[in-house]
Amino acid sequence: MKSVLSLLAAAAVANAHFTMQYIWDNGVDEGLNNFIRIPPSNNPVTDVTSTDLTCNVNGLTGSSVSTLSIAAGTTITFEWHQHAQRTGEDAISGGHKGPVLVYVAKAPSTAASFDGQGAVWTKIYQSGLLNSTTWATDVVNANNGKHSVTIPASLLAGEYLLRAEIIALHVAESYPGAQFYIGCAQVKITGGGSANPTKIALPGAYKPTDPGITINIYNNLQSYTPPGGAVWSG
């Protein structure tokens, strides 16, 4: 049985879903939905075995999406909102508590034709439970929906998918319960190095029994480990 707190949380954030809507390249706003594979709605993914976990619903191709050229070592900022508006409401509902993660995957040819399947994803960022009451999602919300990552300078040049993910754990006591909000952007990295980082599959690496996926966050939680393994240092 779900706890009273989790039931109240579910009621409080009903329909308060969100999507990734902007990316920024070294502080330059690239515009609404540009270079992003846009899902049909702001609903989350809840099945960790579904190919929707890769780049959200209808996200296995980006043939209609442009690809942004960026330099290796640049700072990319991802920006999320409940609706297509930057003011008038929280960027993401304050009831959505959980980690923020970023992965990269090198396309064998073009980012637009890349479906992101198989062991191709490298985690380059994660932030989870910062203290007993503050989650990475709280920081994103306080920053008007934004979080940033530095693209490792040692990555090979070429075309990539950047996969940002927010996992909301407010109803994650049983599976399926955790809500996976996923946004994929298409980029072409110039410069770079010769690194061959560790890779995982998405779907594949996440399991329903992972303690970072099925968890009661209202039970005096003192620590949290996000799914997907360690961050590659670059």
Please state whether beta strands 146-150 and 68-71 pair in parallel, antiparallel, or not at all (unpaired).
Answer: unpaired
Reported as a single tens digit per residue, the pLDDT across 44-98 is 999 999 999 999 999 999 999 999 999 999 999 999 999 999 999 999 999 999 9
CB-facing half-sphere around the CA of 45: CA atoms within 13 A = 28
Place of tokens 């399991």: 207
Does position 8 have pLDDT exceeding 90, yes or no?
A: no
Residue 52 corresponds to which tokens in the numbers above? 């929707």
Question: What are 69's strand-pairing partners?
Answer: 188
Q: How high is the pLDDT of residue 12?
A: 43
Q: How high is the pLDDT of residue 4?
A: 46
Question: What are 162's strand-pairing partners?
Answer: 104, 185
Place of tokens 């990269």: 104
Does position 9 have pLDDT exceeding 50, yes or no?
A: no
Reported as a single tens digit per residue, the pLDDT across 117-139 is 999 999 999 999 999 999 999 99
Q: Is 10 helix (H, G, I), strand (E, B) or coil?
A: helix
Q: List all residues 6 or more positions away from 88 whose beta carbon is below 8 Å from its beta carbon.
A: none
Tell me how crowded residue 71 is: count the other CB atoms within 10 A of its CB.
14
Q: How high is the pLDDT of residue 15?
A: 63
Q: Is residue 95 a contact partner of residue 13, using CB atoms and an 8 Å limit?
A: yes
155 backbone dihedrals φ, ψ, rounded to 5°: -65, 145
Q: Is 225 helix (H, G, I), strand (E, B) or coil?
A: coil
Using a pLDDT cut of 90, give the percent of the chain over it: 92
Does position 104 have pLDDT exceeding 70, yes or no?
A: yes
- Residue range 170-194: mean pLDDT, rounded: 98
Q: Is 233 exposed, middle or buried (0-12, 13-18, 19+ CB in 10 A)?
A: exposed
Q: Is 9 helix (H, G, I), strand (E, B) or coil?
A: helix
Place of tokens 């003192």: 222
12 backbone dihedrals φ, ψ, rounded to 5°: -70, -30
pTM over 0.75: yes
The stretches of 29-144 forming alpha helices (DSSP H) are: 52-55, 136-142
Q: Examine residue 203 and say whether the peptide bond preceding it is cis (omega within 30 degrees of 0).
A: yes
How far is Cα 232 from Cα 105, in angstroms, rounded to an integer?
13
Q: Is 154 helix (H, G, I), strand (E, B) or coil?
A: coil
